[in-house]
Amino acid sequence: MGPTGHLIPRQCVPDLSLPLAGGGSWRLSDQKPKHFTMLAFYRGMHCSVCRDYLSHLQSMHAAFSKRGVTPIAISTDDAERACSAEARWGLEDLCVAYGLSVLQAREWGLYISRGCGRSSLGIEEPPMFVEPALFLVRPDRTLYYASVQSMPFGRPCFEEMLRGIEKAVARDYPARGEVAD
């Protein structure tokens, strides 16, 4: 991690190994996308903004896959909540991982919030959960892109991400923000 507590582009990111909604497990170091693994950390089943954001990612899953990007959604939710989100939100193509620990979240430089009652969806917030983040990780597990947020709104636009990825790949554009000292 860099001096600000965030991961550094062009450096190796922490490995992640998490269970998947619907069974099985996922490990970052096992991923071999053509260009990037896209890690979309989300707040959890209680979040209406996450529902809309991940539903949009689901609708663009084929477009990202076609361009060599493998997306996954990750939360601190338990199995029941993750499976419920996957089913209710129609995430049939998008892998949904759950059980991210606070320690793992801190390794990735994520913001963590305490639950404060029922959300706009009428679902109780868990005691603690992560705020959203989006990462692009190369097949060699080095960080290419990072967006870490402290609030549920203002997330990166998937259409813009797709256009940016197309240009970056075509131009062999290097990861930026690598200066850490």
Pairing label, strands 25-27, 112-114:
unpaired
Q: Which of 90, 102, 120 is nearest to 21 (CA)?
A: 90
Identify whether the C-beta of residue 73 lies closer than 8 Å to the C-beta of residue 42. Answer: yes
Write out the CATH class of domain 36-164: alpha beta
30's torsion region: left (phi>0), alpha (psi -120 to 50) or beta? alpha
Which residue matches tokens 């554009």? 173
Q: Could you tell me the residue ranges of all domains in the chain?
A: 36-164
Pairing label, strands 128-130, 17-19:
unpaired
Distance CA 158, CA 104 (A): 25
Instruction: Check the CA dihedral 142-144-150-153 and report its sign.
Output: negative
Q: Could you tell me the two tokens for 45?
A: 């089943």
Give the model's pLDDT for residue 21: 97
Give the model's pLDDT for residue 1: 53
Give the model's pLDDT for residue 161: 97
Q: What are phi and psi of 118, to 5 degrees?
A: -85, 145
Distance CA 147, CA 74 (A): 14
Specify the amino acid at residue 161: M
181 residues of the chain, pLDDT tens digit each:
543 468 999 999 999 999 999 899 999 999 999 999 999 999 999 999 999 999 999 999 999 999 999 999 999 999 999 999 999 999 999 999 999 999 999 999 999 999 887 777 777 889 999 999 999 999 999 999 999 999 999 999 999 999 999 999 999 999 999 998 7
